[in-house]
Chain A
Amino acid sequence: MAEAHSTLVKEVVEQFGADRSRLMDIARALHGKLGHLSEDIIGEIADALGIHRVEVRDMVSFYAFLSRSPKGKTTIRLCNAVVERMNGADEIAQAFEEALGIRFGETTPDGAISLEYTPCMGMSDQPPSALVNGVPITGIRKADVPAIIDAIKKGGAVQSLPVAEIELNLRQSGPVIFAPMDRGAAVRRAVDMTPDEIIATMNTARLRGRGGAGFPLAMKWDFCRKAEGDAHYIICNADEGEPGTFKDRVILTEQPDLVFEGMTVAAFVIGAREGFLYLRAEYEYLLPHLEQVLARRRRLGLLGENICGREGFNFDIRIQLGAGAYICGEESALIESLEGKRGAPRDRPPFPVQKGYRNQPSSVNNVETLCCAARIMEKGAEWFSSIGTRDSTGAKLLSVSGDCERPGVYEVPYGATVATVLNMVGAEDAAAVQVGGPSGQCLAPRNFGRSISFEDIPTGGSFIVFGPQRNILESMHQFIEFFVEESCGWCVPCRVGAKHLDIIFRKILDGKGTRADYQQLEQVCMTVKTMSRCGLGQTAANPILTTMRNFPELYDALLQSDDFIPSFDLDKAIKEGCEITGRTPALEEHHV
């Protein structure tokens, strides 16, 4: 057994060229074959790569989809994101637990099935959803649970179940992303221009990044191109982990050529020979499709050597899968992950455009940004900048979910108001909208006149609607729990502070919070926001801070007028002792 494993590990490590930076692929491949990565296997991998065991453990222990203890042959990861829970995920969870006789986090005694939770898996438009050994199933109803379990027990053919059908839900297509494309047009146009001319075109188009930060694309490419290095890299960020977004999934399904087109233009500009598309593990099911598209582009001379006949323009793309970590969408954490390490963000400066992948100049761009760049090559900067507003040119894809009649993807010109979008999606009675996901802001009806734009409400595209029946603050607490789970742990304010936000906020929601607790919550929010190392921590308090601002009445209704209410629960604290001694002390007079 042990020897067979040792041979297997060596084979897999060889398959990836015994390259330490491919540790993610090595770990994923072995995890796929063995079901988990034991301490022995971790040691074997380290030996085969000639690195330290603690380095392999460091990486493996970081990712949610890599387990170090045995799991069932099939793992069901039920999505417990906010929108999923608004649509019955808790009931589905209970149905699975009852049908299998185990709790979440456990494996059936016969080793067949494990139950796990997973945060937003990019299917909020068709909840509740789950991954069954990586295969997404959506729109699950309670009645579907027996058939799902049955299919798994009969050999895992969930693919053929109706729930395995993924809806596209492309509700409003527009001129920018989903319009028909002429494959290769953007690249052909690019090779007829100089990199400087292309940068000038992006500058005229005033294209800004769609991934969240809104950095001007022309500047990023220019910095990267001018930075000295042995190699330059273009990296497409398809980690799409912000709860409530799924537009990159729809792009990768419908318009993958446009994405690769944008990457190829970028490669020409910055002088990259190699590019990566970092695909979140939840989208692994898209991999065969994407590989086919890449293969076709190689056949058509749109990738490979002398692209479009341009002597010396050599470029190719590799798809790197992640392993379940929201933080890997943060560009420097993504780069660490791409190098086969834990997804810990880096301190800046240096920025990725100076020292990125393998410490070489790298441009990290969102899927949608790259599509826009390709379109600008095709249709021109003036055409692009005629859409949207002065400071926010073009259109934005919104991933709309929650309490609305028509959830799905909408291409909306920048400058559209929240109210316009709500009308479009059938949610005129919305009580709140979370724009930009948990790291964005929670808006009240009196904010609905504001506009989706860099100058007003910037967003990566997540747009979650809360109807009047919802307990908004409970959802905000679930967002905080998400950040606690996803904090990488590198820095103190985020690692510890997010957990404190969870605890103090919970106390208030439970009706045990005083004005002093509220004040402390606010202070911890500010410390987490100001002192954290990366964007995750810097925005983790937003669900609380933006509801404190926009929904003060919800807090007022919960806060108690007492000076002090202990968070210490005496009954809970003495429970174990009571069980051991078999008696309960007479404590009545101490109760508060």
Chain B
Amino acid sequence: MHIVVCVKQVPDTKIIKMNPKTNTMDRSSAPAIMNPYDVYAVEEAVRIKEKYGGTISVLSMGPPPAVSTLKKCVEMGADDTYLISDRRFAGADTLATSYALAEALKKISSEKGEIDLVITGKQTIDGDTGQVGPGIARRLDIPPLTFVQKIKEIDLGNRKISVHRKREDGYEVVESELPCLLAVESGINEPRYAPLPNMIKAARHEPVVWSVDDLEDIDITKLGLKGSPTIVGKVWAPPKSEGAEMIEGSTDEVVARIVDLVMERKELFQDKEVQPS
């Protein structure tokens, strides 16, 4: 079974600063990390491999420092990693990103072996669109299964997979043929603490790096800024929410203050059923 996971390196948006003049992210103000949702995608691939056997490839599009994210994937249990990196990929929207990734997936498939399963994260923490996964699936003409919160079973003989898709009111059980693409939810697993042999393997690991020229038959006009019809109209930082009151003091003082506050705002704690009948 050949599983390919797509991962993106993103700035840690928990600490990133916004440039107040241009309203864009100051990427140098935050360290680059693996998109947190993609960690679950890699872990899920490792679990599938442990259960059903096979090999795991990881693919990323990004600048050269993304190598460190790919090495993290090897720590978690990936076998091979691929980075497509080229100035001509820069400025891609989800359309251009999923085109480039789909082209790279075709090359991986022809070089390493047919792909049975593509796994992506639910979304990224910097772009937040959640469109890249389905975009890849459409281009490879395979079924996209989004919101996957559990893999129920894989039937390699009949080349079928069934999964639980998250819904607001529960989940639905969906069966699909292989190959297909899964966009997995963060609750799907608990990522492991990497074992030492993998750490050593990762320290020695060198990802395969491809530029645009390494991807034969690629249509350059569909890449990067040129291939991106999306125009981001305006970005702004959300207004800071009203400051909360920090209650300080001894336990007794704090309790007294809380009681006062609750009494002052009784209406907040009244339920609808208290309405006069």
Is the A/B pair a real complex? no
Using a CB–CB distance below 8 Å, which chain A residues touch chain B? none
Using a CB–CB distance below 8 Å, which chain B residues touch chain A? none
